[in-house]
Structure 1
Amino acid sequence: MTPAVPLALLGLVDAAFSGFRAYAGRDARIRKHRATARAALRGLIVGAVLLLAPALTAALLLLSASDQSRTYDALASGGLGYLLPLTVYATAVLLSLAVYFLLPFRASTLAMVVGLGPLTLLRPVAIAAACLGALLNGGGGPALLLGAVAGAAVLCVEPAVHRRWYRQVL
């Protein structure tokens, strides 16, 4: 099985959360479900467009390779190595979200401060660990390049959404 599908889904979910984070804290209304859904959708759309970059990179790597089978195997191995650290990170985020939504107010606030806040700041570290995993799992240079392009794409979603829709004009 190719790790491209789970990685793409993970990237799209991360993009939706990035859209939400770009919007979060900008609206003092109590009922803002529609606005948060719109922000998540914006993140998802921007993320889908930006995730075309690693897809095109993979296609170019495969088309320009002298041995496409070997390059495909290297990219698949690198993708599995890339997926492992991101799975650990996503599990930690999901556990924090479960605590946030299921426990009473004080515990959910603690989950936000102790879990989700620092985990958001650790996103670039998780991407760097994923790139290292792609390299160490036998992906070599092509997988590292593809991982770096994919990591840059997902890290650019939140700033792009913020700049396009939520930048304050003074």
Structure 2
Amino acid sequence: MTPAILLALLGLVDASFSGFRAYAGRDARIRKHRAAARAALRGLAVGAVLLLAPALTAAAALLTASDRARTFDTLTAGGLGYLLPLVLYAAVVMVSLAAYFVLPFRAGTLAMVVGLGPLTLLRPLALAAACLGALVNGGGPLSLLVGTIAGAAVLCVEPAVHRRWYQHVR
């Protein structure tokens, strides 16, 4: 499996969570599973559109490169470097989510507040670390460009979903 596929899947999962976060706290109903699922799907849809930008950037770079094999290898190296910090970040998020669902109510709530709250705020730093990883792993300026566009795309999902669907509290 190429790093691009894994990065796209990770970006789409993140976009889905971003859609949920845009909705969270906007509705006082007790049963809101459908609304939460709809918010996650909205985030997924917006993320899928926004993630076309780095994909098209990488495709344009490959199509216009004089040495496509070398450009592909450079993008692959950059993608692997980009992937490592994000996989570590995602693993910590998954542990926090697992604690929320497995532990008793109070401990699970504490895991959510102590884990997911700060981790959400650290997303931009995780993406900056991923960009640095792409550069350090031999991806060069092209991988840094694609990674920066991808990072900006995933960071824009939550505000876009919030602005489009959840700007006014009901």
- TM bucket normalised to smaller: over 0.9
Provide runs of 4+ in structure 1 moved above 2 Å. Answer: none
Q: Distance in 1 between matches of 2:155 and 2:111?
A: 23
Q: Distance in 2 between matches of 1:149 and 1:71?
A: 18
Counterpart of 2:108, as a letter, is S
TM-score (norm 2): 0.98
Query: What is aligned with 1:26?
Result: 26
1:1-170 mapped onto 2 (5 Å cutoff): 1-168=1-168
Q: Distance in 2 between matches of 1:165 and 1:142?
A: 35
Aligned length: 170
Counterpart of 1:11, as a letter, is G
Counterpart of 1:24, as a letter, is A
Q: Distance in 1 between matches of 2:36 and 2:114?
A: 23
Q: Distance in 1 between matches of 2:118 and 2:151?
A: 18
The 10-residue stretch of structure 1 (120-129 or 105-114) with the greater mean CA deviation from structure 2: 105-114
Q: Distance in 2 between matches of 1:160 and 1:91?
A: 26
Q: SS at 1:141's partner residue?
A: helix
Q: Deviations over 1:13-67 (max 9, x none)?
A: 0000000000000011110000000000000000000010011000111112111
CA displacement at 1:168 relative to structure 2: 1.6
Counterpart of 1:5, as a letter, is I
Q: Distance in 2 between matches of 1:74 and 1:86?
A: 19
Q: Distance in 2 between matches of 1:22 and 1:68?
A: 40
